[in-house]
């Protein structure tokens, strides 16, 4: 918590861009809206990753893929999901102001993960 409170980065805007899915073996696990990978977003992600490493946390092994999860899926075949993405993925929304970031914890519950906001960190205006 103390390490993340020292992350200094400017506030910025982000844009959602397109839809996609995560999954494997012809099955979809999640539907997501993409987030444009701007310099400001990558700068913030790098600073957070560095702060976490300094705190002794292991690095994230997966490549940074900014997105907003819209739905978790169970046993959904790939074909209808691909059709949904093709039909609705061309949306255009206004930019979203980002003036801070939040540390979440997650715990598995009976109906899936439960996310709890543990701390909020403001960005510089």
Please determine, for residue 1, whether its predicted confidence score (pLDDT) is greater than 80. no
Domain ranges of the chain: 2-99
Please determine, for residue 18, whether its predicted confidence score (pLDDT) is greater than 90. yes
Q: Does domain 2-99 have CATH number 3.90.1140.10?
A: yes
CB contact set of 112 (below 8 Å; sequence gap of 6+): 72
Q: Comparing 118 with 75, which gets the higher pLDDT? A: 118
Please determine, for residue 101, whether its predicted confidence score (pLDDT) is greater than 90. yes
Instruction: Please give the model's pTM, rounded to 2 decimal places.
Output: 0.84
Token readout for 34 is 């993409």
Q: What is the mean pLDDT of the chain?
A: 92
């Amino acid at each position: 918590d103390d390490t993340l409170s020292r992350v200094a980065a400017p506030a910025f805007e982000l844009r959602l861009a397109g839809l996609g899915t995560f999954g494997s073996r012809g099955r979809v696990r999640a539907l997501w809206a993409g987030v444009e990978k701007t310099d400001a977003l990558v700068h913030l992600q790098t600073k957070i990753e560095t702060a976490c490493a300094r705190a002794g946390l292991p690095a994230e092994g997966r490549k940074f893929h900014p997105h907003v999860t819209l739905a978790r899926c169970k046993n959904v075949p790939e074909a209808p999901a691909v059709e949904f993405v093709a039909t609705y993925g061309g949306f255009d929304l206004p930019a979203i102001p980002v003036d801070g970031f939040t540390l979440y914890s997650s715990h598995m519950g009976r109906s899936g993960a439960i996310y709890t906001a543990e701390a909020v960190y403001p960005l510089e205006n």
